[in-house]
Structure 1
Amino acid sequence: MTSTINLLGLSGSLRQQSAHTAILNTVAERLAGPVRLTLHGLEHIPPYNEDHDGVHAPLAVVGLRAAVAQADGILIGSPEYNHGMSGVLKNALDWLSRPHGKSVVSGRPVLCFTASPAFTGGVRAHQQLNETLWAIQATMVVYPQIVIGGVAGKIEHGRLVDTAACTFLMDGVGALIEQASSGRAV
């Protein structure tokens, strides 16, 4: 009997018509069998303040940490703002990096993608995201960088419809699933 592989999706965009949320929803719909992707919103995560951490951590942060702890793997999508990842995503990762040395992300398989209206697809944000995840000791899935350029023309009705981008992304998600399932306790 196969148990469910639980993936957590984090979108670094808060926009109602977010391309990153649309892409995560597309992935969730394409998963089959014992794999599911659940999106966790970041809109209620307050700015990081160490004075409010530990036993005083806000409920939204406690919920985010619990969702990460229960996930077998994480799929993160980030826009590129001013050559970097979104502030909302960086802030969430700062909360998730604590307490120092005991981050719920540490050792957990993570796959990232960026998307942008520009042809570069958010490569600079992707690099910054990788550096942050490396610093908090996430286990990065070995897969070529997933960047989706010209994303506005690749989203229709709230879903990623570009065949090449979708195939490449889903192959990466396959690598995430493989790593997440191999790291589980039997």
Structure 2
Amino acid sequence: MTYNRRGLLLTLGAVGATGALAACGNGVGSSGAQTIDARVNATVNQMYAQYPGTRDLAAKSAGMLVMPLITEAGLGFGGGYGRGALRVNNATVDYYSVFKGSGGLQIGAQQYAHVLFFMTQDALGNFRRSPGWAAGANIEYAIPEGGETLAAETTTSLAPIIAVIFGKSGLHMGATLEGVKYTRIIP
């Protein structure tokens, strides 16, 4: 079997991304329900403090999926992972993991939080009935920068799902939810 430099770099990138994800404290292997709920509570409180307009989104939503810490890493091939909870009427009803895979020109690692606001009962029902829901074009992104207010009135009338991405740290290009798969878990 012959090895070339490109294959070696891609393999090292995939191994490195997997190692970074496993070592980043994002809940891989050690997060029980209490730990996930504590992280979800802290994330929601941080979001409300930094972006007060999200309180209106939460009040108007049928439910929200809170992912307190998503870690992405990549060198050629990359991946991302995190765990969180689905909240309906401010109570946890299910736990979910999120996985993201990617390939292409990339290098780096980053962490961020995100919350999906399900603005209709249909959107929430479709998410809960799905054995593995993949985020796609039906998501409206509201990425607040520097304490901006989110206009709940304009976005809720058009989008069944609104994603708020915040708390980014690290050096990696982009933070989108396209190509992300959510799966119900038992912590």
Structure number with bigger Rg: 2
The TM-score normalised by the length of structure 1 is 0.28
Structure 1 or 2: larger strand share? Answer: 2
